[in-house]
Structure 1
Amino acid sequence: MKILVIGPSWVGDMMMSQSLYRTLKAEYPDADIDVMAPDWCRPLLARMPEVSEAVVMPLGHGSLALGERYRLGKQLRAKRYDRAYILPNSFKSALVPFFAGIPVRTGWKGEMRYGLLTDLRILDKTAFPLMVERYVALAYDKARIACAADLPQPLLWPALQVRDEEIAEITAAFNLTDNRPTIGFCPGAEFGPAKRWPHYHYAGLAQRLIDDGYQIALFGSQKDHAAGEEILALLTEEAREHCLNLAGQTNLDQAVVLIASCHAIVTNDSGLMHVAAALNKPLVALYGPSSPDFTPPLSHQAKVIRLITGYHKVRKGDAAEGYHQSLIDIQPSLVMDALTELLPEDYPR
């Protein structure tokens, strides 16, 4: 069987979609599973053993480009896919499999996709409260799965593969020493400051961890580099020697390997949080207005800290820096306590 998946366009969603690929491979062991996604997704898909090929989606997130989607679909006809799974809920995301003539096209109804999908699912959000459950449910006949409780347990959570040789090479290239255990911080958030734990709290936690014998690595995109510099600026001069701001200094694949090298991760609700969970790293995940009730870190080694309940749709936080009060209220001591519970007893205290 040949399967095409139209994948998501965000890091966190792409990570959670691996649960579908793992489930499909368990259901159809001989299947070839290709995933169409933006080119930046290649490093993640390359570390998912269930994926045979990453097929590049060259169009931007908001572009309809009907003619280009027709051309892409026509090109894919030669691959003779048997099934397609369309994970985004947009109308345009279902066009390429339709133009490719894939006979079975499965997805949630979304934006008026009657005719584009042959296996149309009507989503009851209360029946499938987690995004990962909505992805995995598509792998099964809809008559079999009416709610999340019907899904075979345990769910196959995301699991990226990184080799020890890669870790040794990349950590040496970025001057991460092996004489101190490394704690990774992911202080950025694509959403903006309202989903970020304040830089001064990160700095307070970093200072304490460095004083205890750890080194800190800061991860993120180029947009997060300034936040890393703000954290560094609040450390003592001696402590700065043990804190590396790698935000914007690595590509995504290097960041995955470096996160795999860490002994634990502290992070906002972000795409890199889901990467760390898929690497099975001890993880403290800090939530504010966004809710872990929909997209929690999928790991038994994760501790979620959130001081409010419900979902709060905000674009800007209460503080001058744009931070949300619910994240300001999470003190470094609370995060340190959670981190201490996750780390082995023979680590520095």
Structure 2
Amino acid sequence: MSTSTSPLFAPFKLGSIELANRLIMAPLTRNRAGPGRVPTDLAIEYYRQRASAGLIITEASQISPMGQGYLDTPGIYSDAQIDAWKRVTAAVHAEGGKIFLQLWHVGRISHTSLLPDGAAPVAPSALTAKSKTFTTEGFVDVSSPRAMTLDDIRSTIADYAQAARNAITAGFDGVEVHAANGYLIDQFLRDSSNQRSDEYGGSIENRTRFLAEVTDAVVAAVGAERVGVRLSPVAPFNDVADSQPQALFERAVERIAAHPLAYVHVIEGATGGDRDIDPSFDFAALRAKFSGAWMVNNGYDHAMAESRLAAGAADLFCFGRLFISNPDLVRRLREGRALNPLDAATLYGGGAKGYTDYPFLPD
């Protein structure tokens, strides 16, 4: 079997670590955490199996109990969670892999049944999203949020920093700040979800302030070379939109580029959907604002990644569902081998089926 010698499969220096290749396992919510929002033994095996990725970015993990929005998602705020993640990172490192943890606060994309004492979700403004979340009752409408106070904002920024420190304690190589897909930071960015009249709302400068301050705090906690940030400039996921997305996200990238981050991770088009949902949006203009590693995501296959790498359009390429069904995806792409089909019915919740039982190529 021929093996590709493409630079896609060559080592890449990311911050202070060396990746074995440029193929990244995207963050993928699987809803399989155990009691206490703790990763289970199955999660250890799941991530270990996929350690040949240049970098694994974990499933989104809430930074606090108020950051949770879906049933059985893991956290990074308790000692039990840190201890469980230590076993995950040790397993990935034993296989020669690298792994970042994605830091998550869902904001208004939550339900009172998932939050402490049945609390209302928090958001930049008290605007209910036209969206659903996953609870013990299945998919239900999200609950109405309350607007965050300035004290809420300050304490949440501190939660991001502490969660980043916890991740490093748990053995992660770094963290990714989840500022995409209509969750809390993205809610602050967009004028459809942020109608504040204080220093966190109104102008683009004000609406990018929360992102900038979270990034500042996480960088101060663990170092810029251990931090990536994820953005989704035109994705309408979870009922967000903006009247000036180009200007907004160019300024957002400028503000986080004040730090020599490990990478910026951009979802091109609609999350998990149409790449050309806004054909007028200029992603190259965003990249021009950041001198570090540029990571891209959404519908990539081998040929498309090769083409974009050859054109100099990006440095790192995320694969999501292909990594779910192909734990040895790097080898399959490098050798031009067939791919396992995805069992979509087992994506969210459940046990080993559709999680750790996808076959590897024979040796």
Same fold (TM over 0.5): no
Give the alignment's TM-score, normalised by structure 1: 0.29
